[in-house]
Amino acid sequence: MASSKSAEARLVELGIELPPAHAPAGSYVPVRRVGDFAYVSGQGPLIEGCEEPVTGKVGEALDLDQARRAAYLTGLNVLAALRAEVGSLDRVTGLVKLLGFVNAAPGFVRIPEVINGCSDLMQEVFGEDGRHARSAIGVAELPFDIAVEIELIAAVRD
């Protein structure tokens, strides 16, 4: 892995174009920066113009592969929010902590594999700096019935 490459350079190399950053879904801000940290609000897999299935219960409406893909799309929105706040992903000095929520159908417990769709993306984009602590749980309901919601703490510099 080209760990000397910048995150923005890796995005180009991976052929990834980030979607526009979302407006928040309520009375909060997409990213709150404090000191060297950026707290990214919970993001979902909805992307304008993208027709992949991203709502419904995982294990019922979506299978594991579709859910992992929804976590990947959620990761794109996390990156878009982060870039909109700090200007460039090259100002991200490291990821810290990710918290992943899966809209789980009763009995669906392959939760880590779903959230890997986002974690794997982060490691592809940030390399060694993309290492992060993580918790992942299956929840009863998510806003707008999205399949996945993910929040992130990142370390950033000016």
Residues that bind a copy of itself (CB under 8 A): 24-32, 34-36, 39-42, 94-99, 101-102, 104, 106-113, 115-116, 119-120, 123, 131-145, 149, 151, 153, 155
Please identify, using beta-carbon distances, which residue of 11 and 146 lies nearer to a copy of itself: 146
Residues 27-36: contacts with CB within 8 Å, 24+ apart? 30/81, 30/84, 30/85, 31/81, 31/82, 31/84, 31/85, 31/86, 33/85, 33/86, 33/156, 36/93, 36/155, 36/156, 36/157
- Report the C-alpha gap between 27 and 31 in whole angstroms: 12
Please identify, using beta-carbon distances, which residue of 16 and 153 lies nearer to a copy of itself: 153
Angle, helices 111-126 vs 64-86, to 10°: value is 40
Residue where the block lists tokens 């490291």? 94
Instruction: Please give the biggest Cα pair distance in the chain.
Output: 45
Please identify, using beta-carbon distances, which residue of 79 and 102 lies nearer to a copy of itself: 102
CB of 106 to a copy of itself, least distance (A): 7
CB of 59 to a copy of itself, least distance (A): 9
Please identify, using beta-carbon distances, which residue of 8 and 151 lies nearer to a copy of itself: 151
The tokens of 84 are what? 């909109």
CB of 125 to a copy of itself, least distance (A): 13
CB of 123 to a copy of itself, least distance (A): 6
CB of 62 to a copy of itself, least distance (A): 14
